[in-house]
Structure 1
Amino acid sequence: MMFELARQRLAPVFNLLDINEEVMIRLSVPKRTIVANIPVRMDDGTLRVFTGYRIQYDDTRGPTKGGIRFHPDVDMQEVTSLSFWMTVKCAVAGLPFGGAKGGVTVNPKELSLMEIERLSRGYIRAFADVLGEKRDIPAPDVYTNATIMGWMADEYAMIARRQEPGIITGKPLHLNGSKGREFATGQGALFALQEYLEHYKPSSEQMTIAVQGFGNAGFHFARIAQQCGYRVVAISDSQGAIYDPKGLNVLDVHRLKQEDNRLASVYCDGSVCNELDYETLSNEALLELNVDVLVLAALENQITEQNAHQIQAKTVLEIANGPVSPDADQILEAREIDVIPDVLANAGGVIVSYFEWVQNRSGMYWEEAEVEQQLKKIMVKESQSIFDHAKKHKCSLRTAAYVHGVERLAGAIDQRGNHKLFKSV
């Protein structure tokens, strides 16, 4: 069902573009689907077997690229949908990659750190034959991080009997990671938002922002946005949300979250954090706040046809993958609420992963300022192209983004030969 919803995004695009039918056929199904059972010895000596997935959706434009998530809801439908979105996202960003995704059905909160390491290394052993810096390059995703990517790269090196740092991106800095990768998704999303505001809603007033999801991407977006003068008034995690119309101290909220695993509005001075006045909300209530920008940085299908009519934000920014359902998209569009789509808004992560891959293969490493400069250059360029498509086709930003990406994919597919070419021979 989830994959069918993802493919619905293509229907309006094919209506706008004059593309060969073979492009539609190629993009309607993944190229390769691999499922593996991963045995892990637990700390108490028992053996558990976890199901792992790797979907390589399309490699027409280059080796496939996509993260690995550890989550209890991971299944074939989810991973296939995510690999499809990665295919479009890499094309939207103009990267020489196809799309892939991986995952393990597991609740990592129930595992010790050593059990997570065994699972991470077991994942690479299970899928090593289909990975490679010229074939398929994983990266972190939900509940995976730089440390896990370092374990995975190390495991691959032991299997291959050689160092091949370009096999994995999102690695720790001292294990051939890239400067700027940790906050790339949040930084890229802010670049996309700023371009959007400049084109559509120029204003000198302080923008109010609510952020659903306070993981790596959501935190860094909120942190950088606040530094740029935006007022972050609400933040949520899986347990609930906090709200203060005067604004939250993002760094202090994050510090308390790391120390006590809870959200609260606080002011920290040295080692002491004092709580400030704030309201507690449900995640559902956060979505319905009257703010300028609602940032979705959690999981899929957060806005659906059931709650789309209650959304009061003027603009929705998708940092998560697929947080707005196709039915909700239509409702928001009818209500003139713009959605800055995931395939553009969260492309910063894969763009800087590309930079890391380039640095690993060349052996020349960039300073953080250069990474940020090159990220901004790509985000601004591709954002402007999407806004031009939206104006030309009189369509939503999502449809414009898909038009932009599918045009590139169609060009690569057609230039390898199609029915029209061979029929003329």
Structure 2
Amino acid sequence: MSKQNQYIPSYLDAENPGPWGIFLEQVDRVAPYLGEFSEWVGTLKYPERSLIVDIPVRLDDGTIAHFEGYRVQHSLNCGPGKGGVRYHQDVTLSEVMALSAWMSVKTAVVGLPYGGAKGGIRFNPRDYSKAEVERITRRYINEISSVIGVDKDIPGPDVNTNAQTMGWMMDTYSMNAGQDCPGIVTGKPIAIGGSLGRVEATGRGVFIVGVAAARDAGIDLNGARVCIQGFGNVGSTAARLFCELGAKVIAVQDHTGSVYNSDGLPISALIEYVNEHGGVAGKPNVEEITNDEFWALETEILIPAALEGQITKDNAHNIRARIIVEGANGPTTPEADDILTNNGVVIVPDVLANAGGVTVSYFEWVQNRASFYWSEEEINQRLETIMDNAYTAVSATAAEHKVTLRTAAFITACTRILKVREVRGLYP
């Protein structure tokens, strides 16, 4: 058994640990840089709590269906757990564990007083009515209510969940608690305590660190080429902001296909088309290219903003981007990471690049607790300050240790987490 597999929980496949195995490899890579805190590194390799729940729901046709739900709390050392809930037919425990761990790193990188958590339900919401999705959501929150709380673990939106989903979650928890609990989730509608700027926060954060990385690389963004995989809130927001700065988005790929225009895609029109048709495929007056051709395009900035594991050893050799800004969680495998680094590609890692979402979620939580709400301008200014400072710190660590930005981000975050663990000690 390899050293890595010693840390695979017994309920996962030791030979194929999936995304959790990727996270463990990332921890192993950063361990030599942790110095006096290295004895605590095992803290990062075991999630504090992994909950699997059954979600029985009566469907519209009167039948009863069962769904599998998860809530994993990786680390609560630095504060309450924080992390979204995703609805997807391919969600696995390994994936949710890894996502919770990346949330621990992400919140620590930007200095938020949170730990890492994540949730998911294994189903495709597109196959169910709105009423069925609501019943699934409410039963899920009821089943995990013992491990979440305003000061314990705060869910938020993720893949295939949105403000309405959060509204159902908040209402369900509040009804059970017998009082209004707006701070139990973030990403809520504005009417029930949501924060201005939350919808665009992740994409805006990707844009902020992308601009900083381009500046460090000496890239003039006026006329620079940008390619984006994934065109939901994150990808479309980043696309719009880069275009406003003078860059041109030459290609977009999503689950329906890939579209291309060497002179730049009409982003506003593309956003409207996707909202109406559900994907980029079929957009008039643009060229459709294959997914393989998308990855091989020459570009200054590539933004993977879809699901994890999209850039692998099979396509990394073909990538001709100068900078990759990871809008998605875990889009690059460790093997691909090595290939891209050897080819001189700068990668701004997910735990830094897409931390804008959790940062504004933190703002929402703070506003809920204070019952005092900020303007969107103030929120965007605070977000820019935090993201800029985090990028500057990670970049300085990378230069100090002569490592990649990903390793530097993990050094920064893991040191913060383990320092807290050492100060708190072990109980009993």
**What residue number does 2:312 align with?**
304
- What is the alpha-carbon distance in structure 1 between the residues aligned to residue 343 and residue 388 of structure 2? 27
Structure 1 stretch displaced more, 173-182 or 15-24: 15-24
Contact 2:221 2:246 in 1 (8 A): no
CA separation of 1:204 and 1:117: change in aligned 2, threshold 3 A: closer
What is the letter of the counterpart of residue 171 of structure 2?
Answer: D
Shift of 1:264: 5.7
**What residue number does 2:7 align with?**
none
Q: 1:33 aligns with which of 50, 53, 67?
A: 50
CA separation of 1:54 and 1:262: change in aligned 2, threshold 3 A: closer
- What is the alpha-carbon distance in structure 1 between the residues aligned to residue 282 and residue 389 of structure 2? 37
Q: 1:348 aligns with which of 356, 360, 365?
A: 356
**What residue number does 1:139 align with?**
156
**What residue number does 1:321 align with?**
329
- What is the alpha-carbon distance in structure 2 between the residues aligned to residue 199 and residue 261 of structure 1? 36
User: Does 1:85 pair with 2:93?
Assistant: no
- What is the alpha-carbon distance in structure 1 between the residues aligned to residue 135 and residue 290 of structure 2? 36
- What is the alpha-carbon distance in structure 2 between the residues aligned to residue 33 and residue 168 of structure 1? 19
Secondary structure of the equivalent of 1:48?
strand
Contact 2:214 2:221 in 1 (8 A): no
Secondary structure of the equivalent of 1:166?
helix
Runs of 4+ in structure 1 off by over 4 angstroms are none
Secondary structure of the equivalent of 1:170?
coil
User: Does 1:261 pair with 2:240?
Assistant: no
Contact 1:256 1:264 in 2 (8 A): no
- What is the alpha-carbon distance in structure 1 between the residues aligned to residue 205 and residue 92 of structure 2? 28
Shift of 1:236: 1.5
Shift of 1:205: 4.4
Q: Which runs of 5+ in 2 are unaligned?
A: 1-16
TM-score by structure 1 length? 0.94
What is the letter of the counterpart of residue 286 of structure 1?
Answer: F
Contact 1:19 1:410 in 2 (8 A): no
User: Does 1:222 pair with 2:239?
Assistant: yes
Secondary structure of the equivalent of 1:234?
strand
What is the letter of the counterpart of residue 11 of structure 1?
Answer: D
What is the letter of the counterpart of residue 133 of structure 2?
Answer: I
**What residue number does 2:139 align with?**
122
User: Does 1:107 pair with 2:140?
Assistant: no
Contact 2:324 2:345 in 1 (8 A): yes
Secondary structure of the equivalent of 2:68?
strand
Secondary structure of the equivalent of 2:121?
strand
**What residue number does 1:272 align with?**
none
**What residue number does 1:238 align with?**
255
Deviations 1:316-342 (A, max 9, x none): 110100000001101111111111100
- What is the alpha-carbon distance in structure 1 between the residues aligned to residue 367 and residue 337 of structure 2? 38
- What is the alpha-carbon distance in structure 2 between the residues aligned to residue 368 and residue 205 of structure 1? 26
Contact 2:156 2:166 in 1 (8 A): yes
What's the C-alpha RMSD, in Å, of the aligned pairs? 1.5
User: Does 1:201 pair with 2:254?
Assistant: no
TM-score by structure 2 length? 0.94
Shift of 1:260: 2.4
What is the letter of the counterpart of residue 171 of structure 1?
Answer: K
Contact 1:212 1:297 in 2 (8 A): yes
- What is the alpha-carbon distance in structure 2 between the residues aligned to residue 160 and residue 204 of structure 1? 50
Q: 1:173 aligns with which of 186, 190, 197?
A: 190
User: Does 1:186 pair with 2:206?
Assistant: no
User: Does 1:48 pair with 2:65?
Assistant: yes
Structure 1 stretch displaced more, 94-103 or 222-231: 222-231
What is the letter of the counterpart of residue 275 of structure 2?
Answer: Q
Deviations 1:344-373 (A, max 9, x none): 000000000000000000000000000000
- What is the alpha-carbon distance in structure 1 between the residues aligned to residue 245 and residue 163 of structure 2? 26
Number of residues of Structure 1 aligned to a counterpart in Structure 2: 411
- What is the alpha-carbon distance in structure 1 between the residues aligned to residue 109 and residue 248 of structure 2? 29
Secondary structure of the equivalent of 1:293?
strand
Shift of 1:197: 1.4
Secondary structure of the equivalent of 2:320?
coil
CA separation of 1:44 and 1:193: change in aligned 2, threshold 3 A: same
**What residue number does 2:390 align with?**
382
CA separation of 1:202 and 1:209: change in aligned 2, threshold 3 A: closer
Structure 1 stretch displaced more, 22-31 or 239-248: 22-31
Deviations 1:234-269 (A, max 9, x none): 112101010001111111111111222342686xxx
Deviations 1:124-173 (A, max 9, x none): 11111111010000000000001100111011110101001000000011
Q: Which runs of 5+ in 1 are unaligned?
A: 267-274
